[in-house]
Amino acid sequence: MKASRCGQLAGTHAACSIAAFRLPFFRGNILEQNVARTAASVGEALVAGAIFTLPAFLIARVNGVPVWETFDYWSSTWIMLVGGVLGVLFVILLRRTLCEDADLPFPESAACAELVEKVFERTERIDLLVNNAGISAGGAIWELEPDVFARVTRTHIDGTYNCTRHAVPHMREAGWGRIVNLVSRSGLIGIPGTAAYGTGKGGIFGFTNVVSRDLAPFGITVNGVNPASTDTRMVGEAIEKGRRAGGEMARRAESLNALLQQPEDVAVMIAALCSEEASAITGQFFFVRGTEIGVFRPLALADTTSRDTPWSAEALAHALCALEIPPLDSPY
Where among 98, 126, 154 does a domain terminate? 98
User: Looking at the 3D structure of the chain, how many domains does it have?
Assistant: 2
* Per-residue model confidence as pLDDT tens digits over 194-211: 899 999 999 999 999 999
Based on the domain organization, do 168 and 211 belong to the same domain? Answer: yes
- With respect to residue 29, please indicate whether it lies within any of the assigned structural domains: yes
Q: Which of 98, 127, 162 is the last residue of a domain?
A: 98
Measured CA to CA, the distance from residue 160 to residue 204 in angstroms comes to: 7
Express each pLDDT in 1-38 by its tens digit. 444 555 445 445 544 544 444 444 444 555 555 666 66
Q: Are residue 16 and residue 148 in the same domain, yes or no?
A: no
Q: Are 164 and 257 part of one and the same domain?
A: yes
Q: Calculate what percentage of the chain has a pLDDT beyond 90.
A: 45
Same domain, yes or no, for 87 and 136?
A: no
313 in any annotated domain: no
In a domain, residue 247? The reply is yes
Instruction: Answer whether residue 103 is part of any domain.
Output: no
The 10 Å CB-count burial string (b at 16+, else e) for 76-99 is: bbebbbebbeebbeebeeebeeee
User: Residue 84 pLDDT more than 70?
Assistant: no
Active-site position among 73, 161, 197, 332: 197
Residues 69 and 216 in one domain: no
Same domain, 247 and 290: yes
194 or 43: whose pLDDT is higher?
Answer: 194
Looking at the structure, do residues 88 and 63 belong to the same domain, yes or no? Answer: yes
**162 assigned to some structural domain:** yes
Question: Which pLDDT score, from 0 to 100, does residue 93 have?
Answer: 57
Whether 315 is in a domain gets the answer no
Residue 73 falls in the annotated catalytic set? no
Q: Both 171 and 287 in a single domain?
A: yes
In the chain, the N- to C-terminal Cα span, in Å, equals 80
More reliable by pLDDT, 276 or 66: 276
Chain segment 229-260, per-residue pLDDT in tens: 888 887 788 788 888 888 877 887 887 787 78
Residue 172 belongs to a domain with what CATH number?
Answer: 3.40.50.720
Q: Indicate whether 325 belongs to any domain.
A: no
Range of the domain at 47: 2-98
Q: What angle do CA 87, 89, 92 make, to 5 degrees?
A: 100
pLDDT band for 140, please (50, 70, 90 cuts). confident
Are the C-beta atoms of 199 and 153 separated by less than 8 Å?
yes
Dist CA 75 CA 52 (whole Å):
17
Is the domain of 139 the same as that of 175?
yes
Q: How many CB atoms lie within 10 A of CB 329?
A: 8
For residue 107, the model assigns a pLDDT of: 72
139 pLDDT tier (thresholds 50, 70, 90): confident
Q: Which of 98, 119, 139 is the endpoint of a domain? A: 98
> Is 311 among the domain residues?
no
pTM: 0.68
* Statement to judge: residues 132 and 260 lie in one domain: yes
Please check whether residues 15 and 141 belong to one and the same domain.
no
Residues 209, 118 within the same domain: yes
